[in-house]
Amino acid sequence: MKEYENLFSDSIRNELQSFSEYRAAYREIWTLRNILSVLHWDSEITLPEEGRAERGNQIGLLSGLIHSKYAGENFYRLAREAADENERKNLPGQSERRIELQRLFQDLDRSRRLSQELVEEFSVTTSKAHAVWAKARKENRFTDFAPILSRIVELSKKQAESYGFETEPYDALLEGYEPGERAANLESLFHNLKNSLKPLVARGKRIRNPFPKEIPVSLQKKLGEALPALLGLSPKISRLDASEHPFSTSLGPKDKRITTRYDLKDPLSTIFSILHETGHSLYEAGISEIEGGPSPLHDSVSLGIHESQSRLWENQVGRSRSFWEMYYPILMDVLELKESELAFSDLFSYVNQSAPSLVRVEADQITYNLHIILRFEIERALINGQTTVSELPELWNSKMKELFGIEVSSDREGVLQDVHWSGGAFGYFPTYTLGNIYSAQLFDAFSKENPNFADQVLSKKDFSSLLDWLRKNVHWRGKYDSAETLIRKATGSDPDSSFLVRYLENKLNELESIDHGR
């Protein structure tokens, strides 16, 4: 569904004056949000160190302005008048416009509960916190990050109180990332998933890094810069940069930014970061193709669905045998390696190894979800007041021992490894595992409809059938459906973690057959 049929066509535009005024106001807010995204992107990529204080003030001021416009009485009145007009005038596209306004009011009513002062302080604090976190991580000193993190936690708790909740404060923050989801449900889901993963983790095997030498950043850049376009993300609407923590962001319909980071000893770290972030940007690019925008429907339905797109390209595609049989010659040529230095079987086994590790972004497919469960349990306890910031390192280390049997040697590889808490993104982490669940289910449905996909990848370097399927079933749906409804329509069944477990079991079987064949 590339367009919301008859939603707001030229033929009825003049008949819906109030709706036109509401859309014009929404476009202004949407544009300001894109400008704010530019400031955030620049803060992490090109901003000189001495400019951070002023940039924090700029971000705080603009965030407050956007909030006042979006949550203010004037926009609320325009939206209410648009809704009333839509119900009075029985014009084509009425039901689609009704859904659009329902989505708007779900978010608008939530935003109006936050004061402008709280929004501005949160924006200024988190903007400053990123640099503090990056420095503390580099110097391995959590105590340098703890004071500003404590303030972010306090502000996040104030947000939760402002939003309101029925059972626990964490639910109020989780709602902002995964609408309708609740911590108690995640606790049950993650508990069952953890039990299903335990026997798979026990079968895992650590594989030695097969790269014979350090790979210069210049060669890794050359390799990585061609990868997004190979998957279908046009370089005319995107760019790749380096950052402390890989991320992707949309600055407009034709402006998608992704970042990666470089590891001289392991270029796969760079490759999989790019695969992951390209998945996000392909989703954003697909949403931008929906006609008739911008509107509240021209957005992702949830972070879990967003993560499903990044994880699908990173794992179901990027760790498949067909991908690596296609990509191996490219990698060897660009990185100037010989087959005698790096055998395909060694590389493919390394790509798909499974063994407990310290760092989430470098974790394998099986143990990755345990990293998410650890973070979910910690941040839930933090927001609900069951632990404090000062206790985080010890709590983190004990849970790593419990879940992975690993001793954490430094805060850099422990509690300081993720950027999310410096941005106040409490409630974000669970969406990664939800994304893993959704991605396995979506790819299973796609594969049943497209049994020749692996041959297309191997023989033609062609990923278009997958991208087209995702465009139709996920990207072009925008925010029209709930996450659960979207998955049901795309796959024929409700969200189900058994698809993920089965996929991981098959992956282990594949690796064990390679090992036995040596």
Q: What is the mean pLDDT of residues 39-44?
A: 94
276 annotated among ligand-binding-site residues: yes
pLDDT tens sequence across 335-362: 999 999 999 999 999 999 888 889 898 8
Q: What is the mean pLDDT of residues 458-480?
A: 96
Long-range contacts of 222-225, Cβ-Cβ distance < 8 Å, separation of 24 or more: 222/334, 223/267, 223/270, 223/271, 223/330, 223/331, 223/334, 223/335, 224/260, 224/270, 224/271, 224/274
Quote the CA–CA distance of 419 and 432 in Å, as a whole number: 14
Positive or negative torsion for Cα 190, 192, 194, 197:
negative
pLDDT tens sequence across 210-251: 999 999 999 999 999 999 999 999 999 999 999 988 999 999
Give pLDDT, residue 4: 54
pLDDT tens sequence across 408-429: 999 999 999 999 999 999 999 9
Q: What is the mean pLDDT of residues 298-317?
A: 97
Tell me which of 9-13, 110-114, 191-195, 498-502 is least confident.
9-13
- Residues 6 or more apart whose CB falls under 8 angstroms from that of 95 comprise none
- Mean pLDDT, the chain, as a whole number? 93
pTM value is 0.89
244 annotated among ligand-binding-site residues: no
Q: How far apart are the first and last CA of the chain?
A: 48
40 annotated among ligand-binding-site residues: no
Q: What is the DSSP string of 51-63?
A: GHHHHHHHHHHHH
Q: Phi and psi of 255, rounded to 5°?
A: -145, 95
pLDDT > 90: percent of the chain: 85
- Residues 6 or more apart whose CB falls under 8 angstroms from that of 387 comprise 378, 381, 395
Told to judge if 187 belongs to the known catalytic residues of this protein, a careful annotator would answer: no
What band does 209 get if pLDDT is binned at 50, 70 and 90?
Answer: very high
Q: What is the mean pLDDT of residues 442-458?
A: 96
Q: What is the mean pLDDT of residues 50-54?
A: 91
On whether the CB atoms of residues 137 and 263 are closer than 8 A, the answer is no
pLDDT tens sequence across 262-281: 999 999 999 999 999 999 99
On whether the CB atoms of residues 70 and 79 are closer than 8 A, the answer is no
Give pLDDT, residue 1: 47
What band does 449 get if pLDDT is binned at 50, 70 and 90?
Answer: very high
On whether the CB atoms of residues 309 and 114 are closer than 8 A, the answer is no
On whether the CB atoms of residues 269 and 350 are closer than 8 A, the answer is no
Q: What is the mean pLDDT of residues 455-470?
A: 96
Pair of tokens at residue 429 = 């982490």
Does the pLDDT value for residue 79 go beyond 80?
yes
Give pLDDT, residue 201: 87
Quote the CA–CA distance of 486 and 477 in Å, as a whole number: 8
3-state DSSP helix/strand/coil percent for the chain, to nearest 5? 65, 5, 30
Quote the CA–CA distance of 478 and 38 in Å, as a whole number: 22
pLDDT tens sequence across 186-198: 999 998 898 898 8
Q: What is the mean pLDDT of residues 442-464?
A: 96
On whether the CB atoms of residues 247 and 200 are closer than 8 A, the answer is no
| Residue indicated by tokens 């072009």 | 476
Give pLDDT, residue 264: 96
On whether the CB atoms of residues 325 and 458 are closer than 8 A, the answer is yes
pLDDT tens sequence across 103-135: 999 999 998 999 989 999 999 999 899 889 999
Quote the CA–CA distance of 189 and 439 in Å, as a whole number: 16
Give pLDDT, residue 280: 98
On whether the CB atoms of residues 434 and 159 are closer than 8 A, the answer is no
Give Cα separations from 337 to 223, 225, 327, 438 (angstroms). Answer: 13, 18, 13, 37
What kind and span of H or E run contains 484? helix 483-491
Q: What is the DSSP string of 403-461?
A: HH------STTTTTS-SGGGGT-TT-THHHHHHHHHHHHHHHHHHHH-TTHHHHHHHH-
Give Cα separations from 183 to 109, 197, 207, 383, 422 (angstroms). Answer: 22, 20, 35, 12, 21
Q: Catalytic: which of 120, 175, 181, 277?
A: 277
- Residues 6 or more apart whose CB falls under 8 angstroms from that of 204 comprise 353, 354, 355, 356, 364, 366, 367, 508
Provide the 10 A C-beta neighbour count for residue 45: 14
Can you give the three-state secondary structure of 364-417, one letter per residue?
A: CHHHHHHHHHHHHHHHHHHHCCCCCHHHHHHHHHHHHHHHHCCCCCCCCCCCCC
On whether the CB atoms of residues 75 and 105 are closer than 8 A, the answer is no
Q: What is the mean pLDDT of residues 164-172?
A: 96
pLDDT tens sequence across 352-399: 988 888 989 888 999 999 999 999 999 999 999 999 999 999 999 999
Does the pLDDT value for residue 3 go beyond 60?
no
Q: What is the mean pLDDT of residues 168-196?
A: 94
